[in-house]
Amino acid sequence: MEKMGVPAAALITKAYVDLAKATAARRGMPLERITFTLHPVWGKTPAELAAMIRGPDPVTGKPMMKEITDALTVPLSAEEQKTGTQSITAGAPRFGPDTADNLQELFMNNGMTDYLPVILPTEQKIQAMLKGTSHSPDEVLRKPIQGVGYESAQWGYTVRQVAVNAVMSGCRPEYFPVILALASVGQLGLFGSTTSSSTSIVINGPIRDKLNMNYGLGALSPFAQSNATIGRSWTLMGKNLTPGGIPGDTYQGGQGNNLDYNNLVIAEDEKNSPWTPLHVQLGFKPEESVVSIFGGPDVRQGHGARGAGVAENAMFDEQISFMFGSLVGDGALVICDPLVAKRLVEQGYDTKEKLIDWLWKNTVRTAKDFRESFLAYVHLYPLALQGREPYATWYKLADSTLVPFFPRASDINFVVCGGQANAFFQVANMRHGRSASIDKWM
């Protein structure tokens, strides 16, 4: 509005002082007039809110309504009318010479690590990493752009800058095409939402075996260097290649998320899966190697052996419907052990599509429950206001009308991995974001 010549007063709760000021600065208005309120404002009665606005701004101590009216009427200072360009530095290009221990401390104390020791990125190690791709070190994967996206400022990066982070993560040069494919999708690790959302990285195609990825016993645990370091790189890139992961500023996850250490790397077991691999479902060729990103807040586990001990017990159906009913995200990534997948095929779900269609149609809630959900209030009602379907229609339905839990069947995805030790499955409360070719970065 300010750019359009309309004076504006921003009201923000005091939990976001640093974020609000940093965002304003990154967008080119460092002295934006912001009034802060107590946090949170939700759950308050009208009387409590009325008292709040008649009280002081908890940050400046000035009467809140006076501050708001002043924001709209007090003439601008010279600083507030300043135009021009400000350059921002990302800091020193190199550190040292110093001892390895001191550099480890320096990297950690400057927020460049995940607080685990890193492989120090020396020029020699970076050059070795760069041999893992045919692409030029100077090739730009993303240009820096001011004031767009969730982080308010998207930094840019090159193949070489990605290589530095790959080295730090402990990747071998042969993993580098995967890391570049990951970096090419745009959004990096440590998504800053208050929901503490994290990521799952799904890898398909021949690269899984070339890198000795583990998709068998303990597939989701730390039993393979490739699984471990590829996942770690996503977080380090989020911290370093963008201004992500700054608590109170670009990171607001209330409880945080332990998945951020590895980002739930899943190499799909295409050999033991009875279904089409994920990347083929998404339109890639079977012989292509592909990385897919899913985002959302959590993972939960269930048992998927229908008839295990009790022949009539439809455990998978019951459990997965129950799990879907308590998801808060807008998508589901179901991770099946091959034992579960094979059992589901025996039950008639010989394609992922059949199973997804069943789940989509049979996991429902009332339109009232949908409208009262967290996700709908904050994220989906604004889309309904834009006329986007199915939300626009769902907001017009009678309270008792049943609607699918997810807007589209394609918001549900299945992948297969595990050692066939027991018939467990996991549901990641995560939605597919983007997929990228790994082969392109060889």
Partner 1 sequence: MKINRRKLLSLLGMSGALLSGAPLEAEQKKKNAQGGAGSEPKITAVSPKGTPPAVSLFAMAPRLETLDGKTIYMVDTGFFGGDMLLQEIQAWFQQNMPSVKTVFRKKAGPYAEDDPKLWAEIKANGNATIMAIGH
Nearest-approach distance from CB 255 to partner 1, in angstroms: 15
10 binds partner 1 (CB under 8 A): yes
385 binds partner 1 (CB under 8 A): yes
Report which residue type is found at 423.
Answer: A
Nearest-approach distance from CB 95 to partner 1, in angstroms: 5
C-beta separation of 301 from 428 below 8 A: no
413 binds partner 1 (CB under 8 A): no
Site string for partner 1, 219-238 (x = CB under 8 A): -----------------x--
Site string for partner 1, 236-255 (x = CB under 8 A): x---xxxx------------
- The full DSSP string for 283-349 is T--TTS-EEEEEEES-EEEEE--TTSSSTT--HHHHHHHHHHHT--SS-EEEEE-HHHHHHHHHTT-
Q: Which of residues 128-147 bind partner 1 (CB under 8 A)?
A: 144-147
- Helix segments in 170-296, DSSP class H: 176-184, 207-210, 225-240, 278-281
Choice from 55, 60, 62, 100 touching partner 1 (CB under 8 A): 100
Taking CB under 8 A as the binding criterion, the range among 118-126, 266-274, 410-418, 431-439 that sits at the site for partner 1 is 118-126
**Other beta carbons less than 10 A from residue 405's beta carbon:** 22
157 binds partner 1 (CB under 8 A): yes
Report which residue type is found at 395.
Answer: Y
Nearest-approach distance from CB 433 to partner 1, in angstroms: 14
404 Cβ contact list (under 8 Å, min separation 6): 360, 361, 363, 364
Judged by CB under 8 A, how many residues of this single chain contact partner 1?
Answer: 107
328 binds partner 1 (CB under 8 A): no
H-helix or E-strand spanning residue 357? helix 352-362
Looking at the Cβ atoms of 8 and 364, the one nearer to partner 1 is 8
Q: Please report how the helices 159-169 and 176-184 are oriented relative to each other, as an axis angle in degrees rounded to 10.
A: 120
Site string for partner 1, 163-182 (x = CB under 8 A): -xx--x--------------
Nearest-approach distance from CB 411 to partner 1, in angstroms: 17
Nearest-approach distance from CB 68 to partner 1, in angstroms: 6
Q: Which of residues 50-79 bind partner 1 (CB under 8 A)?
A: 50, 52-54, 65, 68-69, 72-76
108 binds partner 1 (CB under 8 A): no
249 Cβ contact list (under 8 Å, min separation 6): 18, 19, 22, 243
